[in-house]
Amino acid sequence: MLWGGAADAQFAVCNQTFDVVNVAIGKFDETVFETSGWWTIGPNQCANVVTEELKVRYIYVFAQDVFGKTVLAGSTPMCVGPERFEIRGEGDCLVRGFLEARFHEVDTLRTERWTLFLVPPPG
């Protein structure tokens, strides 16, 4: 089964939860970390969040449902905005007018394409 454009995705996030989620990503861009978001992904849908060939090994992902409950988090602090955003630098989020979120590190193993599946919490 081919999903529209999924074959061209370089880093896709697929939502296998029962809720609509908002996703933000972070990656190192030559000299500084950059974060961007939000991609809104419905249940059983995917979004291409990085469309160019992956040039970095690690992509950082943060996801929350539409009510602000965290769906995927990790241990790497980076900045997010309340609306669509592109932010350079991961420090001093609050001082710069952003929020801090803890991103989950995804090791893409230096592949050119990767798909991350968000799944419902156990239980």
Q: pLDDT tens digit string along 91-121? A: 999 999 999 999 999 999 988 889 999 998 7
Angstrom distances, CA of residue 65 to CA of 2, 15, 49: 26, 11, 17
pLDDT band at 79 (very low <50, low <70, confident <90, very high): very high
pTM across the whole model: 0.89
- All structural domains of the chain with their residue ranges: 13-108
Tell me the CB-side half-sphere exposure of residue 38, using CA atoms within 13 A.
Answer: 18
Q: What is the mean pLDDT of residues 32-41?
A: 96
pLDDT at 3 exceeding the cut of 80: no
Give per-residue pLDDT as tens, 4-24. 344 455 999 999 999 999 999
